């Protein structure tokens, strides 16, 4: 009897894990293949008339990547590292029916846009940008503590010359635990606590909770934040 119960329990658990894995795969594929509203490009062009059609496509690619990070983080908050992508997110939300359907099918919840200055606690925005850094590095095969390049979302504003965009330096030599060096944020310090001396980050962190606080000024490293749900 006990053996039968154990077999049934193991089978049920195996089916649960398989369904969860399949659901995650389907959501990943949905986000990867989703076609944003065509008008979104023209709205972005109004905000950034200097961008070419190819560059506007890069911004939308960044928006797609941000949603993938939010998918991986599940209910945890992910800060937005790019002003241009944040603007695209704002515009996408205005298509309320399509946005709600996208969130339901791609994320399993409604993704709210929360400005960093109304975060529930002073550390929330900093935690969100560190989570974005770790997940973005993991998806692009980058060592979060010794990055050889910036992930797309952290490089985009500088590459496109966005006037009010966020700038990140690979290793700007800032004091351990500090994010800021002149006009750029020190990307190599975002994912780790005290000067990257320990194993505070993880290259395969999909839960988003590894790592310790990396400085009190981390809230300025990103724009809106996505997390939670209805």
Tokens linked to 216: 């009190």
Q: Is the Cβ–Cβ distance between 192 and 200 less than 8 Å? A: yes
Smallest Cα–Cα separation from 211: which of 199, 203, 221, 226? Answer: 199
Q: Residue 226: pLDDT above 90?
A: no
Length in residues, the chain: 230
pLDDT digits (tens, 9 = 90+) for 23-63: 889 999 999 999 999 999 999 999 999 999 999 999 999 99
CA 212, CA 194: separation in Å to the nearest integer? 8
Instruction: Taking each helix axis as running N to C, give the angle between helix 53-73 and helix 2-33, from 0 to 180 degrees, rounded to the nearest 10.
Output: 160
pLDDT tens digit sequence for 169-188: 886 665 444 455 456 788 76
- 62-75 pLDDT tens trace: 999 999 999 999 98
* 3-state DSSP of the chain: CHHHHHHHHHHHHHHHHHHHHHHHHHHHHHHHHCCCCCHHHHHHHHHCCCCCHHHHHHHHHHHHHHHHHHHHHCCCCEECCCHHHHHHHHHHHCCHHHHHHHHHHHCCCCCEEECHHHCCCCCHHHHHHHHHHHHHHHHCCCCCCCCCCCCHHHHHHHHHCCCCCCCEECCCCCCCCCCEECCEEEHHHHCCCCCCCCCCCCCCCCCCCCCCCCCCCHHHHCCCEEECCC
CA–CA separation, 107 vs 105, rounded Å?
6
Q: Which of 47, 58, 153 is nearest to 91 (CA)?
A: 47
Tens-digit pLDDT profile for residues 80-122? 999 999 999 999 999 999 999 999 999 999 999 977 666 666 6
Asked if residues 192 and 144 have their Cβ atoms less than 8 Å apart, the reply is yes
Quick: pLDDT tens for 139-157: 999 999 888 999 999 999 9
Distance between CA atoms of 213 and 148, rounded to whole angstroms? 23
Beta 184-186 vs 168-169: how paired, if at all? Answer: parallel
d(CA 153, CA 184) in angstroms, rounded, equals 14
What pTM value is reported for the model? 0.77
């Amino acid at each position: 009897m006990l053996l039968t119960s154990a077999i049934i329990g193991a089978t049920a658990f195996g089916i649960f894990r398989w369904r969860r894995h399949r659901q995650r795969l389907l959501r990943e594929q949905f986000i990867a293949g989703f076609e944003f509203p065509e008008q979104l490009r023209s709205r972005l062009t109004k905000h950034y008339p200097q961008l070419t059609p190819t560059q506007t496509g890069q911004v939308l690619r960044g928006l797609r990547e941000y949603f993938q990070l939010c998918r991986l983080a599940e209910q945890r908050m992910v800060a937005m590292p790019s002003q241009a992508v944040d603007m695209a997110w704002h515009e996408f939300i205005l298509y309320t029916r399509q946005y709600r359907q996208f969130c339901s099918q791609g994320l399993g919840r409604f993704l709210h846009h929360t400005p960093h200055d109304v975060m529930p606690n002073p550390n929330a925005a900093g935690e969100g940008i560190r989570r974005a850094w770790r997940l973005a590095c993991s998806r692009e095969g980058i060592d979060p503590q010794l990055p050889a390049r910036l992930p797309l979302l952290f490089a985009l504003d500088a590459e496109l010359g966005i006037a009010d965009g966020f700038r990140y330096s690979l290793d700007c030599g800032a004091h351990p635990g500090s994010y800021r060096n002149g006009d750029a944020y020190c990307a190599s310090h975002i994912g780790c606590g005290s000067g990257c001396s320990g194993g505070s980050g993880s290259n395969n962190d999909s839960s988003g909770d590894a790592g310790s606080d990396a400085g009190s000024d981390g809230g300025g490293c990103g724009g809106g934040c996505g997390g939670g749900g209805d």
